[in-house]
Amino acid sequence: MIASAQILVFTLFYVAIFVLALWALIDAAVRPATAFVSAGKRTKRFWLVITGVATAVSFVALPPPLGIGQLGFLALLGAVGAIVYLVDVRPAVGPYSGGRGGRGGRGGRGGTPPSRGGW
C-alpha cells in the first residue's frame, strides 16, 4: 500500500516537471526574438535550447507507464532551467511581446516603452 502511494507521488512529481518544462518551451517559442534582446535577457535560441532539453529530459524521466523512467536526476536540473525561464525571463520579456503577456509592446502609455519596475 505504501509502495503504491510512493509510486503515485513519484509519477505525479515527474509529470509536473514535464508539464512545467513543456509550458516554458511553448511560451519561449511564441515570444518574438526581439523581445528577449529588448528585455536584456539571453537570446530566444538560448532559451529554446534550455527549455527544449528540459522538456526532452523530463519526458524521458517519466516513470514506465508514461515514459522510460531514466535520467530522473537530470529532470530536476531541467526543472531548474524551466523555473528560471518562467520566473525571471518570462515576466521580463512579456511587455515586449506585443499582445502577449501583459500591457503589450507599448507599455500602455501611447508609445512609450514599458517601465522597468520601481515604485
- Looking at residue 116, what DSSP letter applies? -
Show pLDDT as tens, one digit a residue, over the chain (119 residues).
777 888 888 889 999 999 999 999 999 999 999 999 998 899 999 999 999 999 999 998 888 777 777 778 888 888 999 999 999 999 999 888 876 544 444 444 444 455 565 55
Supply 95's cell numbers. 511587455
Question: Residue 65 and residue 78: Cα distance in Å, rounded?
Answer: 21
Task: Give the Cα separation of 108 and 119 in Å (integer).
Answer: 17
